[in-house]
């Protein structure tokens, strides 16, 4: 592999990173080839001692994604960072993919339950209004249709309010979990950097 091929492969591996970042990184390797050439080394030799540009690109990408998730712990950033870190090696599949997907799944489940609760509440409210307007559609012995409708209506409102309050709490909890995951990824990267790729 010569200088051009190495830099081209690295550039491809860095696709998706900000242009400034990519230019900075490529410049460092450009400079490395330059210094090596001045020493009289062959480009192929320099490229060989540098290592696989794809692996190197993955390391830069993982660092960048984790830093980004640390700055803004959104689902997108955290998921992206987790994937980039998993891409660094099999070891991470176990220690990153597992915990991250478990947290995502748990959060998703609770959110889905909340949505179901909200939908049921809305249905109950609509049904009670409908019942109050057209009591003759239903036959409920002994109970005043209007009173029943009113009761069900407030039950629905109560359930809807409850789901709204829970949704706000879940919003905080979700953000908290994402931040925790971002920190975990950073920690993970440092540990791996210390033991594997430093």
Query: Of the candidates 20, 38, 133, 139, which one interacts with other proteins according to CB under 8 A?
Result: 38
| Residue 78 CB, nearest approach to other proteins (Å) | 19
Q: How far is CA 150 from the centre of its chain?
A: 43
Among 101-109, 110-118, 167-175, 188-196, which window interacts with other proteins (CB under 8 A)?
Answer: 188-196
Where residue 138 falls (left for φ over 0; alpha for ψ -120 to 50; beta otherwise) is: beta
Query: Of the candidates 53, 77, 84, 153, which one interacts with other proteins according to CB under 8 A?
Result: 53
Asked if residue 7 lies in contact with residue 26, where contact means CB atoms within 8 angstroms, the answer is yes
> Is residue 36 near other proteins by the rule CB under 8 A?
yes
| Residue 152 CB, nearest approach to other proteins (Å) | 58
> Is residue 92 near other proteins by the rule CB under 8 A?
no
What are the structure tokens assigned to 59, written together?
Answer: 């390391």
Asked if residue 62 lies in contact with residue 88, where contact means CB atoms within 8 angstroms, the answer is yes
Compare residues 59 and 157 and give the one whose CB is closer to other proteins: 59
Pairwise CA distance, residues 131 & 20, whole Å: 63
What are the structure tokens assigned to 19, written together?
Answer: 């242009």
Among 35-43, 102-110, 122-130, 176-184, which window interacts with other proteins (CB under 8 A)?
Answer: 35-43
The vertex-43 CA angle with 38 and 49, nearest 5°, equals 100
Half-sphere CA count of 141, side-chain side, radius 13 A: 0
What are the structure tokens assigned to 136, written together?
Answer: 């003759």
> Is residue 20 near other proteins by the rule CB under 8 A?
no
DSSP 8-class letter at 16: T
> Is residue 67 near other proteins by the rule CB under 8 A?
yes
Query: Of the candidates 3, 7, 17, 29, which one interacts with other proteins according to CB under 8 A?
Result: 29
Query: Of the candidates 16, 35, 106, 171, which one interacts with other proteins according to CB under 8 A?
Result: 35
Give 80's contacts (C-beta < 8 A, 6+ positions apart): 65, 68, 69
| Residue 82 CB, nearest approach to other proteins (Å) | 18
In the region spanning residues 120 to 149, those forming contacts with other proteins, defined by CB under 8 A, are none
**Contacting residues toward other proteins, per CB under 8 A:** 25, 28-29, 31-32, 34-36, 38, 49-53, 55-56, 59-60, 63, 67, 193-198
């Amino acid at each position: 592999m010569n200088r051009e091929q190495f830099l081209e492969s690295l550039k491809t591996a860095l696709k998706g990173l900000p242009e400034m970042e990519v230019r900075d990184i490529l410049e460092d390797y450009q400079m490395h080839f330059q210094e090596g050439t001045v020493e009289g080394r062959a480009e192929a030799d320099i490229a060989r001692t540098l290592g696989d540009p794809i692996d190197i690109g993955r390391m830069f990408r993982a660092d960048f994604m984790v830093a980004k998730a640390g700055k803004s712990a959104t689902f997108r950033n955290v998921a992206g960072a987790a994937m980039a870190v998993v891409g660094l090696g099999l070891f991470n599949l176990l220690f990153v993919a597992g915990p991250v997907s478990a947290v995502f799944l748990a959060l998703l489940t609770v959110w889905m339950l909340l949505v179901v609760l909200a939908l049921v509440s809305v249905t109950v409210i609509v049904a009670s209004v409908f019942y109050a307007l057209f009591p003759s559609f239903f036959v409920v012995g002994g109970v005043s249709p209007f009173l029943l409708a009113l009761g069900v209506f407030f039950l629905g409102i109560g359930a809807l309010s409850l789901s709204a309050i829970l949704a706000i709490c879940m919003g905080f909890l979700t953000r908290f979990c994402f931040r925790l995951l971002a920190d975990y990824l950073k920690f993970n990267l440092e540990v791996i950097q210390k033991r594997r790729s430093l």
